[in-house]
Structure 1
Amino acid sequence: MENFMPILVDTLFGFAALFVLTKVLGKTQIIQLTAFDFIAALVLGELVGNAIFDKKIGIMHIAFAVLVAGILLYVTEFITQRYKASRSLLEGKPSIIIHKGKLIREEMKKNKLDINQLQHLLRAKDAFSIQEVQYAILETDGTVSVLKKSAHQTPTNNDLNVRPESVMLPMMIINDGEVLWDNLAEAKLTKEWLQQQLKRQEIDSVKEVFFAEWIEGQQNLFIIPFKNKDKQ
């Protein structure tokens, strides 16, 4: 058991340090993973992983590795924000793969992108045929932004001359049998209102509800029970 305690301590510390580093750098570093970020993540993961299983390396070494990696990422982010010329080198730049409906094979070769990979990326954007696409841009994080041809675009309310209405954000009220009291209060709803809603849908207890969602202006609470109640 004594051999496992140092590993446990190092693992918990490494996880906490990486978590703090992620919070400091911001959410965009997770979503917009550039080539430099990917390399830094691999190196940092390797350093922390080796430190956990190497008895000669302690918490201070892990902290130093995380600190150095954090400084590198921070400096890189500072440079790219301060000097525009460095962005293409450190972050890369988007590439137009499809231009006015035509496939740009030179850009595909430059980015090591084959037709099967492109089709996969297009399908993720609800474009199941290259013929539907007017423009496709390969972003620096590896995703593809797609602008479909007008014949394949989904019509908007403006196109259909539909009067615009307010869009309300759905709010979860019950999750896995537990009431989210903060959300209930934020929605300016009461416990009595919730009990009435459950009773109206023949639910005896909150424990029977897997998920419940409320939208402002909606008359009834949307409820998904753990299982359908069969009348016997």
Structure 2
Amino acid sequence: MLFDDIANLIRTLVLGVCSYGSLIVALHLSGKRTLAKLNAFDLVVTVALGSTLATILLSKDVTLAQGALALVSLVLLQYVIAWLSVRFDTIERLAKSEPAVLLRDGKIIDDALRRERVTVDEIKAALRGEGLGDFQLAALVVLETDGSLSVVPKSSAGSRSTFPSPVQ
């Protein structure tokens, strides 16, 4: 069936415009960091916002006021956690993970691969993505806090001041 009745379509359209507007205002007030996806916590908030928006649009059991409050609550909670993380190391450690070194100076760190559940093939793909055809050409491969793999070629390693500590 294409649709039940025109009232449901109009309801979805009105709720979509209003809830989207609520989300935009909340995101604007909270700042760019809310959708930055700098770590797993940020990604979870982004996914939760999308899920909440979909629920507002499609569930007749959720009013616009409830949905807008849910969106604002998620944005506010993310803002508070980010604010606290900048000020308190304990909160930062709870909300964020540490980057993990998977390859250093051309050598794969097997324990780190197992701990982080990353395969050698995924390391190879990251190296290829950077145009490197050999492990020995890489100074570092890091699993970042957002789940991405960063590759630093030996030719770009410089003083290595941005590298995570070798102790993992």
TM range (shorter): 0.7 to 0.9
Structure 1 SS opposite 2:112: helix
Cα distance in 1 for residues equivalent to 2:109 and 2:28: 39
1:73 to 70, 78, 88: 78
2:42 to 26, 37, 47: 37
Cα distance in 2 for residues equivalent to 1:35 and 1:110: 17
Q: Which residue of 2 aligns with 1:141?
A: 146
Q: Which residue of 1 aligns with 2:93?
A: 88
- Superposed CA deviations along residues 135-192 of structure 1, whole A, max 9, x for unmatched, are 2222111223322224xx5xxxxxxxxxxxxxxxxxxxxxxxxxxxxxxxxxxxxxxx
Give yes or no for contact 1:48–1:65 (8 Å, CA) kept in 2: no
Cα distance in 1 for residues equivalent to 2:113 and 2:27: 32
Cα distance in 2 for residues equivalent to 1:125 and 1:146: 7
Higher mean Cα deviation, 118-127 or 75-84? Answer: 118-127
Q: Which residue of 2 aligns with 1:100?
A: 105
Structure 1 SS opposite 2:140: strand
C-alpha displacement of 1:69: 0.3
Q: Which has the higher strand share?
A: 1
Give yes or no for contact 1:14–1:62 (8 Å, CA) kept in 2: yes
Letter aligned with residue 76 of structure 2 = I
RMSD: 2.0
Q: Which residue of 2 aligns with 1:109?
A: 114
Give yes or no for contact 2:37–2:46 (8 Å, CA) kept in 1: no
Structure 1, unpaired ranges of 5+:
154-232
TM-score in terms of structure 2 length: 0.78
* Match status 1:11 vs 2:55: no
Alignment of 1:119-198 (within 5 A): 119-150=124-155
Cα distance in 2 for residues equivalent to 1:96 and 1:63: 41
Based on CA coordinates, which of the two structures has the bigger radius of gyration? 1
TM-score in terms of structure 1 length: 0.58
C-alpha displacement of 1:86: 2.6
Q: Which residue of 1 aligns with 2:7?
A: 2
Structure 2 SS opposite 1:145: strand
Structure 1 SS opposite 2:133: coil
Give yes or no for contact 2:126–2:151 (8 Å, CA) kept in 1: no
C-alpha displacement of 1:62: 1.2
Cα distance in 1 for residues equivalent to 2:35 and 2:56: 23
Tell me how many residue pairs correspond in the alignment.
151
Cα distance in 2 for residues equivalent to 1:106 and 1:136: 14
Percent identity over paired residues: 25
C-alpha displacement of 1:129: 2.6
Cα distance in 2 for residues equivalent to 1:124 and 1:24: 37
Give yes or no for contact 2:105–2:136 (8 Å, CA) kept in 1: no
Q: Which residue of 2 aligns with 1:59?
A: 64
